[in-house]
Amino acid sequence: MLILASASPRRRELLAQAGFEFEVRPAHVNEDVKLGEDAIAYVTRLAREKAQAVFDAMSAEGIDPDSHPFRKERAMDGAPSDGLVVLGADTTVEVDGQILAKPVDAADAARMLRLLSGRTHRVMTGVAVVTKGRAEVAAEVTGVRFVTLSDAEIEAYVATGEPMDKAGAYAIQGRAGRWIPRVEGCYFNVVGLPLALVTTILEFVQAATQRAG
């Protein structure tokens, strides 16, 4: 039973696009950055905390983490076919060592976009897969180049509301895509879920489970 521990519609769409059958169970954890925590440590910690929180909650509800099957047939070879498997993810943007999470308001979104304007920044997604007695954690990093933005462009974009629930205050798959001439690495990572990395981890967990069984 594969569970996506995220309310993000973008992650849900990407995971379905990759052919996985899954259920959604959003996680609720504190997403504040810890003192001295860098971006990689931040996203991998949150990914694991989200996955673990959902795994623990479902186990407490009486769902057997060893034997509960998928409720639908798996649609892709390599996806775990039995047992409770929880996938957590968290994405952030980093520039000059500064973590840009989701903006708190319009002014904060404009501030972030000014920081990104005319520069290359890094997008990082932490991925965690939690099963009974095991947690696999990894991260994907992608470089994203922005053209130089005018104040008017930033103001108009913020007014659309699109930046408000996005790390770094933009959506590459949305209107901001017109300002991004180059991506170095995994595009899907910038959207919110690095599909190749996720598949690799799930296949590894599947193989490890079969060996243990």
The alpha carbon dihedral of 45, 74, 189, 12 has a sign of negative
Q: Which residue in the list 32, 64, 90, 108 is annotated as catalytic?
A: 90
Active site residue 90: yes
Q: Quick check: 128 and 137 in contact, CB under 8 A?
A: yes
Q: Quick check: 193 and 15 in contact, CB under 8 A?
A: yes
Q: Quick check: 179 and 149 in contact, CB under 8 A?
A: yes
Please name which of 196, 174, 144, 11 lies closest in space to residue 90, comparing C-alpha atoms. Answer: 11
Please name which of 121, 34, 86, 107 lies closest in space to residue 202, comparing C-alpha atoms. Answer: 86
Strand-strand pairing, 85-95 and 2-4: parallel
Which residue do the tokens 């998928």 mark?
70
CA of residue 169 relative to chain centroid, distance: 15
Active-site positions read 90
